[in-house]
Amino acid sequence: MASINPYLNFSGNCEEAFEFYRSVLGGEIDIQRFSDVPADVPSQEPEGGDKVMHVALPMANGQMLMGSDRPATMGPTTPGDNVQINVRPDSSEEARRIFDGLAEGGQITMPYEQAFWGAEFGMLTDRFGINWMVNYDSEAG
């Protein structure tokens, strides 16, 4: 079965964002930069440099959170309401830790609490403008 791997675009702060996500969610990030593109391969970011061409943060069950700094040739990014990421932790304690960590410096749009459908649930926009949903459902196993 296919997995869903959200892909996020940033305007030059992709590495900072993924270091933050790593600090909250755990794991190790793998970064490829535009400067790593071989000289004989055309690049969408002609200056190369330290901008992130691709980054991946492995998650549970083979899923990944991926992203990049959007090349200037592709125009500006539109952060925020075009992406939501649903995190389904294995325990109530882990769900609370993740929610609180992601909310640091961000804005809570729905407090983390018991939801009418039986799960613990909360929504927030993190300090990088990315929308998150944290959903712990003990019945989902």
CATH number at 119 reads 3.10.180.10
CA distance 4 to 19: 21
* pLDDT score of 72: 78
Displacement of CA 25 from its chain's centroid (Å): 10
Mean pLDDT, rounded, for 45-66: 83
Which residue type sits at 104? E
Domain that holds residue 46: 7-73
**One domain for residues 69 and 101:** no
Instruction: Tell me the range of 14-23, 41-50, 122-131 where mean pLDDT is highest.
Output: 14-23
Eight-state DSSP code of residue 119: S
Instruction: Mark whether 11 and 68 lie in a shared domain.
Output: yes
Tokens 């590495």 — which residue?
Answer: 15
**Residue 140 confidence (pLDDT):** 59
Of 19, 48, 73, which marks where a domain is finished? 73
Output the pLDDT for position 107: 96
Pair 91, 68 in one domain? no
Q: Are residues 63 and 36 in the same domain?
A: yes
Q: Give the long-range contacts of residues 57-61, CB within 8 A, separation 24 or more.
A: 57/18, 57/21, 57/22, 57/25, 57/27, 57/28, 57/29, 58/27, 58/28, 59/25, 59/27, 60/90, 61/3
Is the domain of 34 the same as that of 15?
yes
* H helix or E strand, kind and range, residue 89: none
Give the CA count within 13 Å in the CB-facing half-sphere of 66. 11
Please give the pLDDT value at position 138.
79
Residue 27 DSSP one-character state:
S
CA distance 97 to 72: 36
Task: Report yes or no on 108 lying in a domain.
Answer: yes
Between residues 139 and 94, which one has the greater pLDDT? 94
In terms of domains, do 103 and 123 share one? yes
Confidence at 115, pLDDT banded by 50, 70, 90: confident
Is a pLDDT exceeding 50 seen at residue 83?
A: yes
| pLDDT reported for residue 1 | 37
Whether 54 and 93 share a structural domain: no
Range with lowest mean pLDDT among 7-21, 29-43, 83-97, 121-135: 29-43
Count: domains in the chain: 2
